[in-house]
Amino acid sequence: MTLFDNINKETAKNSKYAPLADRIRPESLNDFVGQEHLFGKDKVLRKIIENDNLSSMIFWGPPGSGKTTAANIIKEKTKNKFLSFSAVTSGIKQIKEIMDIAAREIEITGFKTILFIDEIHRFNKAQQDAFLPFVEKGIIILLGATTENPSFEINSALLSRCKVFVFNRLTDENISFLIKNAVSDKIRGFGELDIKIDDNTISFISRFADGDARIAYNILELSVQMTTGMDKKNIDIKIPDIERIIQKKMLLYDKNGEEHYNLISALHKSMRGSDPDAAAYWTIRMIESGEDQLYIIRRIIRFATEDIGLADTNALTVSLAAKETFQFIGPPEGNLAIVEAAIYCAMAPKSNSLYMTYNNIMKDIDRYLSLPVPLHIRNAPTKLMKETGYGKGYAYPHDFKDAIVSQSYLPEEIMNRQFYFPTERGFEKILKERLNKIKEYKKKLGK
């Protein structure tokens, strides 16, 4: 017996002492709830499993969406050897050992080894590379489960040899169905108990579970344990019971994962879309999930220059003040300053003219590279520089009416180029009017 043998798995699964979430897992595709796009009638993954025609696959989806359950169903249906492997507790030594087992298995029996790796994204590049030659030779069929985007977390060489199947978040309706089934199932659930639980309480659990079936099962099991009497009768589960168990909703959030970027993108786009409610929601959602507040405020400051700019110069002031406020008083009171900045930026007039100005200038820099500074606006600190024409003909604006003079400040090749185009929104409307007046005045002076 090796480290990788499934010791007493059947006993553990059917034991009354096993957690509800483990003992009530579906044992066939017909019992699978959710993921109809994968396991519905005539769907590709269902056919692959039913025909035992497996190839290397990655199951990608949120926690509790059925990835491990699907792997267990494959284990029951396949003729190939099935081994489970944890990316959390295993290293290169264990990988090499299991590869040797798989190589011997195919030589002796002719069957491949299906290697199920939970949380495969936790393997580093070297560990993932160790699987590659065995996948290429067909010695193992790699079956990986991950909550992270495989495009970022799985080596491209390994990923190109795997088919990715996306598991969606379970709906509240899916979770409610699973809870009701667990309550009524007399063999693997609580069907032998006299449990009363109404639809409102079930919906409450479903919403809290946030698409994670395991969370729902754990809450149900705890509530049964908390309310069960000595005679196991008259078990009445109500919303206050659930509230005492969960106490506070813990938001699922990986600060280094895809959801990190999804949420900050949602905040940016909400502010850009002038929606203060959405901007406040995403800001508080990230704060309560444990995101670094300074990361959030950095994005808001960036937004103040990129999407508001000169349309409302107070946006940058408010955003910087939020940073100073948070650093000065800290959470939780300082969090309000961040929310204030997000709402202010959402309500401010929008302009991306500064962003476009930067891009417009970069195009000319890429085209002309290092154009020389015109002689008349060069610095002339030495006699030689003055003699060679540095600063010659420069007109000092303060010597002229309104401090405006008809004089070029750009290199000759781009002398008449306009890079900054103010909008008609907010303070930029005033700036645009002033810019037009300056241009007209310079035009008259140049005649």
Question: What is the pLDDT at residue 300?
Answer: 97
pTM of the model: 0.59
165 beta partners = 59
Closest CA to 149 of 116, 117, 121, 118: 121
Q: CA separation (Å) from 79 to 24, 101, 135?
A: 24, 17, 18
Question: For the chain, give me the number of helices (H) and strands (E)?
Answer: 21, 7
Q: Give the closest residue to 70 by CA, choosing from 138, 170, 160.
A: 170
> 255 by DSSP, 3-state: which?
coil
Matching residue, tokens 């999930």: 289
Dihedral sign, CA of 120, 126, 131, 137? positive
Q: Nearest 10 degrees: CA dihedral of 219, 220, 225, 228?
A: 140
Question: Which one is predicted more confidently, 255 or 12?
Answer: 255
Task: List, for residues 25-60, the tens digit of each pLDDT value.
Answer: 888 888 899 899 999 888 999 999 999 889 999 999
Please answer whether residues 309 and 355 qualify as being in contact, where contact means their C-beta atoms are separated by less than 8 angstroms.
yes
Q: What is the mean pLDDT of residues 66-92?
A: 83
Write down all domains in the chain, each with its CATH number in brackets.
Answer: 9-166 (3.40.50.300), 172-246 (1.10.8.60), 258-347 (1.20.272.10), 373-445 (1.10.3710.10)
φ, ψ of residue 31 in degrees (nearest 5): -95, -5
From residue 270, give the alpha-carbon distance in Å to each of 104, 130, 297: 57, 44, 15
Residue 447: its pLDDT value, please?
55
Contact between residue 267 and residue 296 where contact means Cβ atoms under 8 Å apart: yes
- Per-residue pLDDT of 183-234, as tens digits, reads 999 888 888 888 899 998 998 898 888 889 999 999 999 988 887 655 566 7
Confidence of residue 175 (pLDDT cuts 50, 70, 90): very high
Dump the DSSP string for 184-210.
H-TTTSSTTS-EEE-HHHHHHHHHHHT
Rounded CA separation 39/33 (Å): 9
Six-digit token string for 114: 């299906």
| Banded model confidence at residue 97, pLDDT cuts 50, 70, 90 | confident
pLDDT of residue 123: 85
Taking the C-alpha atoms of residue 230 and residue 211, their distance in angstroms, rounded to an integer, is 33
Mean pLDDT of the chain: 86
Residue 360's pLDDT band (cuts 50, 70, 90): very high
For 175, other C-beta atoms within 10 Å of its C-beta total 28
Q: CA 93 to CA 100: how far, in whole Å?
A: 11
The Cα 310–Cα 276 span in angstroms is 20
Residue recorded with tokens 């693997």:
188
